């Protein structure tokens, strides 16, 4: 009698094969589903906007988060910039400030002349120098003393002869390089170095043996604040330095879009520019009827002309911000 439960071997093998195929098919679909899920997740993350948070820096108010804040004014002015910028803004009346890359080291360019000016006025104040004293030196000697190569020298022969007062004026108002070298040789580089140490400019270097002077936006802002408060010299000589800076003839930076002397509410800007091989700087004190403030903008880029326009636009934006309040 035949057993109804008997299954031939060939049918068992067929069933096992089908079962294995089904398992493989299920595994295939499972793996495929996982891959699709991962790809969809990656696409979602890629398309989501990324929020970049600016690191907290000294002097930045935590409540400055709206579009009208000083932080927003500065950062909006620097959008899509090509290069590196260091900025310090400080309202000398309210203390409100914003800083970005303030400790970044830049080539000082002609901003080092601020130190020379202050060191010279210290010697005038102490009686070691007289504003009418005549200084004179051969160009070739100055080039040699300050390690200026012939192919990089503005001048190679002749002499420069100026009074101390005239040298100060030309060094600051038209950024005359040989007036600066003449004064630096007179007071000696060591005096400028000592001036930096005595006044706490720890991030500034005068440059020796041919090295270029280095500085940070923080130190330049500190210099300007000390000058404003008559902490670098007595009140009389501090005011003379500020007046020199107000007479700056290179005005395509900070003052470019600000109200001029012919305006009903004129603005005075005591500032110094710096421009050398990819570096473009402007730093000063802006005097307004609603309060004075410091602006330091230093840049390193492949387009100094573009950086100059950016400096002027940022200066105008900061002016508008402080004067609308």
Amino acid 81: pLDDT = 86
Amino acid 8: pLDDT = 57
Give yes or no for residue 48 having a pLDDT over 50. no
Q: How large is the average pLDDT for residues 63-70?
A: 59
Per-residue model confidence as pLDDT tens digits over 34-45: 677 666 665 443
Per-residue model confidence as pLDDT tens digits over 9-35: 545 565 666 666 777 777 776 777 767
Amino acid 26: pLDDT = 72
Amino acid 37: pLDDT = 67
Confidence of residue 63 (pLDDT cuts 50, 70, 90): very low
Confidence of residue 300 (pLDDT cuts 50, 70, 90): very high
Residue located via tokens 């495929």: 32
Give the Cα separation of 253 and 86 in Å (integer). Answer: 15
Amino acid 35: pLDDT = 72
**Cβ neighbours for 313, distance < 8 A, ≥ 6 positions apart:** 77, 257
Q: How large is the average pLDDT for residues 74-84?
A: 91
% of the chain surpassing 70 pLDDT: 81
Q: Are 227 and 242 in contact (CB under 8 A)?
A: yes
Confidence of residue 57 (pLDDT cuts 50, 70, 90): very low
Ranges 46-55, 98-107, 212-221: which has the least confidence: 46-55
Backbone angles phi, psi at 90, to 5 degrees: -145, 125
Per-residue model confidence as pLDDT tens digits over 229-280: 999 999 999 999 999 999 999 988 999 999 986 677 889 999 999 999 899 9
Domain boundaries, the chain: 70-323
Backbone angles phi, psi at 82, to 5 degrees: -105, 100
Amino acid 39: pLDDT = 64
Amino acid 283: pLDDT = 99
Q: How big, in percent rounded to 5, are the helix, strand and coil portions of the chain?
A: 45, 15, 35
**Cβ neighbours for 48, distance < 8 A, ≥ 6 positions apart:** none
Give yes or no for residue 85 having a pLDDT over 50. yes
Amino acid 17: pLDDT = 66
CA angle centred on 54, ends 53 and 56, rounded to 5°? 115
Residue located via tokens 């000398």: 92
Helix then strand count (H, E) for the chain reads 10, 9
Confidence of residue 177 (pLDDT cuts 50, 70, 90): very high
**Cβ neighbours for 217, distance < 8 A, ≥ 6 positions apart:** 86, 87, 88, 99, 101, 102, 103, 104, 106, 283, 296, 297, 298
Residue 31: both structure tokens together: 């793996």
Residue 8: both structure tokens together: 């031939």
Q: How far is CA 300 from CA 60, 82, 164, in A?
A: 23, 9, 32
| CATH class for the domain made up of 70-323 | alpha beta
Amino acid 6: pLDDT = 52
Give yes or no for residue 157 having a pLDDT over 80. yes
Average pLDDT of every residue of the chain: 86
Q: What is the DSSP letter of 60?
A: B
DSSP state string for 152-193 = G-S--SSEEEEEHHHHHHHHHHS--HHHHHHHHHHH-HHHHH
């Amino acid at each position: 009698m035949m057993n109804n439960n008997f299954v031939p071997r060939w049918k068992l093998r067929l069933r096992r094969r089908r079962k294995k195929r089904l398992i493989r098919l299920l595994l295939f679909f499972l793996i495929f589903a996982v891959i699709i899920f991962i790809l969809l997740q990656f696409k979602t993350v890629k398309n989501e906007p990324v929020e970049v948070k600016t690191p907290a820096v000294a002097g930045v108010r935590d409540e400055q988060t709206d579009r009208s804040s000083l932080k927003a004014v500065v950062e909006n002015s620097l959008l899509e910039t090509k290069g590196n910028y260091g900025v310090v803004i400080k309202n000398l009346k309210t203390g409100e400030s914003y800083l970005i890359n303030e400790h970044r080291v830049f080539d000082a360019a002609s901003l080092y002349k601020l130190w020379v000016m202050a060191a010279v006025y210290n010697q005038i104040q102490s009686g070691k120098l007289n504003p009418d004293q005549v200084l004179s030196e051969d160009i070739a000697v100055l080039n040699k003393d300050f390690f200026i190569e012939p192919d990089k020298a503005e001048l190679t022969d002749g002499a420069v002869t100026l009074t101390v007062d005239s040298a100060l004026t030309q060094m600051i108002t038209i950024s005359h390089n040989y007036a600066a070298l003449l004064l630096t040789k007179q007071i000696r580089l060591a005096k400028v170095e000592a001036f930096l140490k005595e006044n706490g400019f720890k991030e500034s270097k005068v440059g020796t043996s041919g090295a270029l002077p280095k500085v940070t936006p923080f130190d330049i802002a500190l210099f300007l604040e000390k000058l404003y408060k008559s902490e670098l010299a007595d009140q009389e000589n501090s005011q003379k330095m500020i007046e020199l800076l107000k007479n700056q003839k290179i005005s395509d930076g900070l003052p470019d879009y600000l109200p001029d002397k012919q305006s009903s509410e004129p603005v005075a800007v005591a500032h110094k520019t710096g421009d050398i091989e990819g570096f473009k700087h402007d730093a000063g004190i802006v005097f307004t009827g609603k309060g004075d403030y410091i602006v330091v903008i230093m840049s390193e880029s492949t387009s100094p002309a573009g950086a100059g326009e950016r400096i002027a636009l940022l200066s105008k934006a900061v002016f508008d911000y402080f004067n609308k309040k």
